[in-house]
């Protein structure tokens, strides 16, 4: 098969496995991103997320992560739920955490993806990534035309909005490459206007250390008292800047059974949350990304928004 045929095969396999979009870029150094990332880190916008300061070079050049890398295959996997629990819930968790941990679900898909490519093409060397290594995924997704990076720093897609996971295969195959698309944010500032903690400090720049998701997931210390009353009842993650984005009117519900919430999650009222035990936590979030904050972390978040 020639380069064109292999590229078509790869995109066809991606669609069969349920990925909404697949775009491909030539592996190399992300020259434009380098000064932006350096500046962002210098401002302290990473907060206590020290891992973002590590592997700076690898984050910008996938050839340092995967020997012989020639292509970055960027993929999009939808997680928009049929029922938005936050619309009726007293306390809210981000939509991406309703069901099973996306790291596991999407990684399972990527393993099959790589196997299928090898079946079609032969010996292919590479690695799969789902938000689990120093891969600048938004930059690669934008470079390969999956969408553009919006003013809230998330990837936006004209037909799917932003409620999706990004994933990558970095492989040693030379393929046909896609290109970026234009920015369709225009003059809209809905995400900036809606953020209750003013985390979007300027268009396209988010101070991660002010984000509700950071406070409720990444921060292990006490939440700063000056943030009291600003969380709008979010206890794990936050969807505010996505919920107000006009492009998310095009979001369609996912077809992934593993992303469906535990039935008891829909029944949780404010008193259930306030009285949650470790046993209930383990049952509700057995395979969920919510386990990242641990039981005591979630209790801290609940107390912060209810006391």
CA of 32: how far to CAs of 61, 153, 185, 223, 272, in Å? 12, 15, 20, 34, 48
Under DSSP, is residue 234 helix (H, G, I), strand (E, B) or coil? strand
User: Does the active-site annotation cover 239?
Assistant: no
Buried b (16+ CB within 10 A) or exposed e, 220-251: eeebeeeeeebbeebbbbbbbbbbbbebbeeb
Q: Note whether 280 and 299 are within 8 A (CB).
A: no
For residues 149 and 204, the answer to whether their CB atoms sit within 8 Å is yes
Q: What are phi and psi of 126, to 5 degrees?
A: 175, 180
The DSSP symbol for 233 reads T
Residues whose CB is less than 8 angstroms from the CB of residue 183 and which lie 6 or more positions away in sequence, other chains included? 148, 149
Phi and psi dihedrals of 24, rounded to 5? Answer: -130, 135
Question: CB–CB of 63/207 below 8 Å?
Answer: no
Q: Classify residue 295 by burial, with Cβ atoms within 10 Å: 0-12, 13-18, 19+.
A: middle
The catalytically annotated residue of 84, 90, 108, 131 is 131
Residue 298 and residue 229: Cα distance in Å, rounded? 17
Instruction: Give catalytic residues, as residue numbers.
Output: 131
């Amino acid at each position: 098969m020639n380069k064109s045929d292999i590229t078509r095969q790869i995109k066809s396999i991606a669609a069969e496995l349920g990925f909404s979009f697949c775009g491909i870029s030539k592996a190399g150094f992300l020259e434009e991103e380098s000064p932006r990332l350096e500046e962002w880190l210098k401002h302290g916008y990473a907060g206590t997320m020290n891992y973002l300061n590590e592997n700076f070079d690898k984050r910008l050049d996938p050839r340092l992560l995967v020997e012989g890398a020639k292509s970055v295959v960027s993929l999009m996997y939808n997680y928009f739920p049929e029922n938005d629990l936050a619309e009726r819930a007293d306390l809210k968790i981000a939509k991406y955490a309703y069901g099973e941990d996306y790291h596991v679900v999407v990684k399972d898909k990527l393993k099959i993806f790589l196997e299928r490519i090898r079946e079609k093409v032969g010996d292919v060397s590479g690695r799969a990534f789902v938000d689990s290594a120093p891969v600048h995924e938004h930059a690669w997704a934008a470079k390969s035309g999956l969408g553009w990076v919006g003013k809230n720093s998330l990837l936006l897609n004209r037909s799917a909005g932003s409620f999706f996971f990004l994933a990558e295969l970095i492989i040693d195959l030379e393929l046909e490459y896609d290109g970026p698309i234009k920015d369709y944010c225009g003059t809209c500032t809905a995400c900036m206007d809606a953020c209750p903690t003013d985390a979007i400090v300027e268009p396209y720049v988010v101070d991660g250390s002010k984000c509700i998701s950071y406070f409720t997931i990444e921060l292990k210390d006490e939440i700063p008292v000056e943030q009291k009353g600003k969380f709008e009842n979010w206890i794990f993650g936050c969807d505010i800047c996505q919920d107000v984005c006009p492009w998310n009117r095009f979001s369609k519900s996912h077809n992934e059974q593993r992303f469906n919430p535990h039935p008891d999650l829909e029944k949780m009222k404010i008193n259930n949350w306030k009285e949650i035990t470790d046993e209930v936590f383990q049952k509700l979030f057995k395979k969920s990304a919510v386990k990242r904050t641990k039981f005591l972390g979630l209790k801290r978040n609940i107390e912060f928004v209810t006391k």
